[in-house]
Amino acid sequence: MEHPRNLSELLPGQSAEVRSLQTVGPMRRRLLDLGLIEHTEVMCLGKSPLGDPSAYLIRGAVIAIRAKDSRQILINIKQT
Amino acid sequence: MGLTSHSTGTKALDAKLILQKQSPEDRIIALAGNPNVGKSTIFNSLTGMKQHTGNWPGKTVANAQGRYRLHGRTYILVDIPGTYSLMAHSAEEEVARNFLCFQKPDAIAVVCDASCLERNLNLVLQTMEISAHVVLCINLMDEAEKKGIHIDAGRLSETLGIPVVTTVGRDKKSLKSLTSALQQICDSPKDLSVQELRPVSYPPLIEESLSLLVPVLQKLTDGQISPRWLGLRLLDDDPSLIQEIHRCLGPAFPENPELLSALEKASSLLKAHGIGPETFRDLITSALIYRAEELCRDTVRYEQPPCQFRDWKLDRILTGRISGYPAMILLLAFLLWLTITGANYPSQALSSLLFGFQELLSRLFLALHAPDWLHSMLVLGVYRVVAWVVSVMLPPMAIFFPLFTLLEDAGYLPRLAYNLDRPFQCCHACGKQALCMAMGFGCNAAGVTGCRIIDSPRERLLAILTNSFVPCNGRFPTLIALIAIFFTGMQKGLTASLLSALLLTFVILLGIGATFAVTWLLSVTVLKGIPSAFTLELPPYRKPQIGPVLVRSVFDRTLFVLGRAAAVAVPAGFLIWCMANLSFHGTDLLSLCASFLDPAARWMGLQGVILMAFLLGFPANEIVMPVIFMAYLAQGTLTEPGSLDAMKDLLLANGWTWKTAVSTILFSLFHWPCSTTLLTVHKETGSIRWTALAALLPTAVGVLLCMLFTGICQICAL
């Protein structure tokens, strides 16, 4: 079993698969609308100059998410 | 195409949508889609209108309508705000959903970005649940082709059962397929009672509970609304929808006993299997996304994996850890340098032309034997102020504006919000405030309207109240002229212009700093709260449409400023002339007013005349400097106006020092917003008190900073 990790731990260049969303309320709905559901592949593209938020490639679009929200997204990091 | 007269002038105030069919034959078409897929570009191409376009999500904040004609029929095209979904999680989604569902357009074109069709299809599927008259328009095909993405539109159309057209929004010819598809679909019969709107199948339990509701709803809705869609929304228990349903189906509808019992049965079925509201939404959205995935698997072909083609190289520099902020400041400085250097030449040419024309005018008056006072009033009063505005203020504005628009078109603004989100987060605000702030450089009124992209009311209010802390286009020329006159010397050349640009950058950074400080102050006092949900899409960079941007923003902006010069500078010039020439107890009114304001102004290191000019400049910031010069000239100092040298002489002769210049720069940066901005604030907040605060905050900051500066100068005996 892999250690459960969250999206904020993903480093630029790494890819991962979403395991589950722990967010609730508006943020959860927003993430779902962006196509971030279970088994979605996510890639971290980079971090902003002050380290937060980070940019992720989600279903062909680049979305910036704050660390406090990405901590709530559990992932499996893909080994390449 | 950037900020236009439509988005910056008083027209920005008028955003309420009233659909006007001129004949019953007219057809209404809605343009829906995700944010930033080129809806407004298509809208402009079809209607020939100048709806603001820009490469950042959330730019269209209200429904806009325009018309086009095809085969003798008028089509009313409505550009609705971009949304990711129609489940009404935010204000614009509610606007979009209400329009699509309750205004019943004759056809809906859902515009998609060909480069990320899969995510866009979510909205297409949701729209297909509402309406049987959907055309899928896959836009930005040129970009997708460059990335090696191939879309089988024919196959997609077959599978979805709706017309699918491919377009390049900027290319008018490619839109023919869209208009003809829309025309056909407008002519097909409309009936939502039949159960055909089923683009997605949901998990069996949801389908089962829906089947309990749909037959009842079919009877009740009478073909007005798709029963299946309504059933889903009722199960979703969406409170914002109930109000709209009242309006559409009558107040008795939600209380119908048959419906209530069916709804009860359906909900308890879901509950019995452990499907709560959150899970219900998850299941619905997942089903939509899986369906979109499935559709794309068969119809979209990538030459390379999607993660390869996103060009992140430029972003490594523009949003990099070390290079992000320096790049931001350098870009700003470069833009300002171009403005300063570029404005010199037309400024000189215009001023010699306009003041040369003044001679002609004077001679004409003389030849006509016009009375002396008339000549003095019209030529020396009114004409001269307008000439000042046009020659000194117009060129920098006409140059900065298109430059800024190009940056916006290229897609840099979302990066700005991305870079600045962290500091805004520290102020308990939203990073999107950076977008509104950037819009404020163009025009504060447009910036205030742009604050609608921020979902949380508290954060939106923060952005509205602090918007005028960054100088708008109308204030740049004042800053540029004062910096050139007092700080970088009058000599021309690269060093001087670079130094000017750097100083101006510093002044603007001061404004940005104040934005942060005041935002923080507000969020720990009157607008307390925690930051809300934040996601920001960073669109790919696009090559800006240089030609159209230049042509349109120069003409639009030039005409707009000229119009404003006529509307504001003419009466201001007239007023100044009257004040200088009407006397009361032996002193002219101008001196009286100036000396009345003088004590307060001195505290701030200004003069009564300067303060008066700021007061008179309330309708338009562009006229502040011209009014100051006018006042000096009206009081009898005879100088050849026009060039910077002459301006310097005039200012020095009237007791200006570098300290006066610093105070004026500070006060120009921080004082009450112009009348248009305040009206916009009032419209956006609907409150006199917030509007007053929006005026009071920058004024207080300005007064304090000016007094602080003057005090320090006195203590240090500078």
Distances (CA, A) of B470 to B375, B467, B523: 40, 6, 19
Distant-in-sequence, close-in-space partners of B197: CB < 8 Å, separation ≥ 6: B128, B129, B130, B131, B132, B226, B228, B229
Residues of A in contact with B532 (CB under 8 A): 26
CA nearest A45 in B: which residue? B312
Domain assignment present for residue B544? The answer is: no
In the chain, the amino acid numbered B311 is D
Q: Report the pLDDT value the prediction gives residue B642, as an integer from 0 to 100.
A: 59
Decide if A46 and B281 are in contact by the 8 Å CB cutoff: no
Question: What chain A residue is nearest to B118 in terms of C-alpha separation?
Answer: A59
Cis peptide before A53 (omega within 30 of 0): yes
Neighboring chain B residues of A24 at a CB cutoff of 8 Å? 278
**How many Å lie between the alpha carbon of A50 and the closest alpha carbon of chain B?**
7
Cβ contacts (< 8 Å) between A31 and chain B: which residues? 535
pLDDT tier at B60, thresholds 50, 70, 90: low
| CA–CA separation, B355 and B336 (whole Å) | 27
How far apart CA B103 and CA B248 sit, in angstroms, is 9
C-alpha of B536 from chain center: 17
Mean pLDDT, to the nearest integer, of B216-223?
Answer: 82
What is the pLDDT, as a whole number, of residue B490?
Answer: 63
List CB contacts (< 8 A) between B321 and chain A: 47, 49, 51
3-state secondary structure B66-89: EEEEECCEEEEEEECCCCCCCCCC
Are residues B170 and B208 located together in one domain of the fold?
no
A chain contacts of residue B330, beta-carbon cutoff 8 Å: none
Candidate ranges B329-343, B480-494, B582-596, B633-647; pick with highest mean pLDDT: B329-343
Q: In chain B, pLDDT over 70 holds for what percent of residues?
A: 90
CB contact under 8 A, A63 and B537: yes
Q: What mean pLDDT do residues A41-53 have?
A: 91
Collapsing DSSP to helix, strand or coil, B301 comes out as: strand
Same domain assignment for residues B140 and B35: yes
In this prediction, residue A3 has a pLDDT band, given cuts at 50, 70 and 90, of low
Buried b (16+ CB within 10 A) or exposed e, B420-444: bbbbbbebbbbbbbbbbbbbbbbbb
pLDDT at B52 over 50: yes
Three-state secondary structure call for residue A57: strand
Our CA-based measurement puts residue B156 at a distance from the nearest CA of chain A, in whole angstroms, of: 18
Task: Provide the residue range defining the domain that includes A15.
Answer: 5-77
The chain B residue lying nearest A20, using CA atoms, is: B282
Average pLDDT of B612-627?
88
**Within a domain: residue B280?**
no
Query: Looking at the structure, do residues B172 and B268 belong to the same domain, yes or no?
Result: no
Average pLDDT, chain B: 85
pLDDT at B460 over 60: yes
Residue A1 pLDDT class (50, 70, 90 cuts): very low
pLDDT value of position B496: 85
Confidence of residue B15 (pLDDT cuts 50, 70, 90): very low
Q: Report CA B216 to chain centroid distance, whole Å.
A: 45
Pair B142, B255 in one domain: no
Do B256 and B392 lie in a common domain? Answer: no
Q: Which residue has the higher pLDDT, B462 or B557?
A: B462
Our count of domains for chain A comes to 1
Q: Are residues B211 and B177 in the same domain?
A: no
**Comparing B494 with B672, which gets the higher pLDDT?**
B672
Quick check: B240 pLDDT over 80?
no
| Overall average pLDDT of the A7-14 stretch | 91
Least confident of B148-152, B234-238, B503-507: B234-238
Task: Choose from B74-88, B375-389, B536-550, B598-612 the range with maximum mean pLDDT.
Answer: B598-612
Contacts of B533 in chain A (CB under 8 A): 25-27, 30, 69
Residue-level pLDDT at B349: 86
Residue B433 CA to residue B461 CA, distance in Å, equals 10
For residues B214 and B345, membership in a common domain is answered with: no
Nearest to B376 by CA among B654, B643, B646, B636: B636
Residue B222 φ/ψ, nearest 5 degrees: 55, 45
Q: Which residue has the higher pLDDT, B268 or B57?
A: B268
* Contacts with A33 from chain B: Cβ below 8 Å: 84-85, 87, 89, 122, 285
Last residue of a domain, one of B275, B291, B310: B275
Same domain, B641 and B557: yes
Residues B693, B615 within the same domain: yes
Question: Which residue of chain A is at minimal alpha-carbon distance from B431?
Answer: A53
> Which residues of chain A neighbour B318 with C-beta distances below 8 Å?
none
What's the mean pLDDT in B111-124?
Answer: 92
pLDDT recorded at residue B131: 87
Q: Is residue B283 part of a domain?
A: no
The residue of chain A nearest to residue B421, with distances taken between CA atoms, is: A53
Q: Which of A23, A29, A47 to mutate to test the interface with B (most CBs of B within 10 A)?
A: A29
- B64, β-bridge pairs: B79
Once rounded to an integer, what is the mean pLDDT over residues B594-616?
92
C-alpha radius of gyration, chain A, whole number: 11
Calculate what percentage of chain B has a pLDDT beyond 90. 34
Q: What is the pLDDT of residue B172?
A: 82
The partner residues of A50 in beta bridges, in order of sequence, read none
- Of the three residues B187, B221, B246, the one that is the final residue of a domain is B187
- Let me know if residue B319 belongs to a domain: no
Contacts of A64 in chain B (CB under 8 A): 418, 421, 431, 534-538
DSSP string for residues in B387-442? HHIIIIIHHHHHHHHHHHHHHHHHT-HHHHHHHHHHHHHHTT--TTHHHHHHHHHH
Q: What is the CATH number of the domain that holds A51?
A: 2.30.30.90
Least confident among B206-210, B403-407, B640-644: B640-644
Number of alpha helices (DSSP H) and beta strands (DSSP E) in chain A: 2, 6
Residue B165 sits in the same domain as residue B30: yes
Q: Which two tokens stand for residue B234?
A: 């009722």
- Average pLDDT, integer, range B591-604: 91
| Cα–Cα dist A56/B100, whole Å | 31
Query: Which of B147, B415, B432, B535 is the best mutation test for A, with the most CBs of A within 10 A?
Result: B535
Q: What is the pLDDT of residue A2?
A: 55
A39: distance to nearest CA of chain B, Å? Answer: 11
Q: Are residues B235 and B363 in the same domain?
A: no
Residue predicted with more confidence, B57 or B603 = B603
Work out how many CB contacts closer than 8 A connect A with B: 127
Average pLDDT of chain A, as a whole number: 88
Specify the higher pLDDT residue, B163 or B91. Answer: B163
Q: A interface mutation test: which of B123, B288, B416, B422 has the most A CBs within 10 A?
A: B422
- Model confidence at B503: pLDDT above 90: yes
* pLDDT tens column, B376-401: 888 877 888 788 788 877 888 888 88
Per-residue model confidence (pLDDT) at position B515: 96
Structural domain contains residue B296: no
Give the residue with greater pLDDT, A73 vs B197: A73
Q: A79 to chain B nearest CA, in Å?
A: 16
Distance from CA of A54 to the nearest CA of B (A): 8
Q: Collect all residues of chain B within an 8 Å Cβ-Cβ radius of residue A55.
A: 315, 319, 418, 538
Please tell me which of the candidates B115, B278, B316 has its beta carbon nearest to residue A46: B316
Task: Tell me which of B194-198, B235-239, B634-638, B711-715 is least confident.
Answer: B634-638
Cβ–Cβ of B116/A32 closer than 8 Å?
Answer: no
Is the confidence at residue B166, as pLDDT, over 90? Answer: yes
Instruction: Kindly determine whether residue B536 and residue A51, on different chains, have CB atoms separated by under 8 Å.
Output: no
Distance from CA of B146 to the nearest CA of A (A): 15
Average pLDDT over residues B3-27: 55
How far does B428 lie from chain A, in Å, by closest CA?
13
Is the pLDDT at B149 greater than 80, yes or no? yes
pLDDT of residue B520: 95
Q: Which two tokens stand for residue B292?
A: 């979109």
Q: Is the pLDDT of residue B597 over 60?
A: yes
| Domain-located, residue B262 | yes
User: A53: which chain B residues are within 8 Å (Cβ-Cβ)?
Assistant: 418, 421-422, 431, 534, 536
Q: Chain B residue with minimal CA distance to A21? A: B282
Are residues B82 and B58 in contact, defined by beta-carbon separation less than 8 angstroms? yes
According to the model, what pLDDT value does residue B402 have?
84
CB contact under 8 A, B84 and A33: yes
Residue given tokens 């702030």 in the structure block: B437
User: Is the pLDDT reported for residue B271 higher than 80?
Assistant: yes
Per-residue pLDDT of B125-134, as tens digits, reads: 999 998 888 9
Distance CA B704, CA B284 (A): 55
Provide the domain limits for residue B136: 5-187
Looking at the predicted structure, is the pLDDT value of residue B196 above 70? no
CA atoms within 13 A of residue B230's CA, in its CB half-sphere:
31
Question: What is the pLDDT, as a whole number, of residue B4?
Answer: 44
What does the pLDDT read at residue B638?
45
pLDDT for B328 beyond 90 = yes
The count of domains in chain B is: 3
pLDDT of A4: 62
Chain A residues with CB-CB distance to B324 below 8 A: 48-49
Least confident of B53-57, B182-186, B240-244, B463-467: B53-57
Mean pLDDT of B361-388: 85
pLDDT above 60: residue B11: no
Q: What is the ipTM of this complex?
A: 0.94
In this complex, which of A37, A47, A62 lies closest to B538 when CB atoms are compared? A62
Name residue A56's amino acid: Y
Residue B524: count other Cβ atoms within 10 Å of its Cβ: 11
Query: Which of B146-160, B216-230, B255-269, B610-624 is predicted least confidently?
Result: B216-230
Q: At residue B433, does pLDDT exceed 80?
A: yes
CA–CA min distance A3, chain B (Å):
25
Task: Tell me whether residues A38 and B286 touch, CB distance under 8 A.
Answer: yes
Provide the 10 A C-beta neighbour count for residue B506: 12
Q: Is residue B192 part of a domain?
A: no
pLDDT at B9: 39
pLDDT for residue B533 is more than 80: no
Q: Answer yes or no: do B315 and A30 touch at CB < 8 A.
A: no
Residues B177, B230 within the same domain: no
CB contact under 8 A, B422 and A55: no
> Is B640 a residue whose pLDDT tops 70?
no
Instruction: Flag whether pLDDT at B152 surpasses 90.
Output: yes
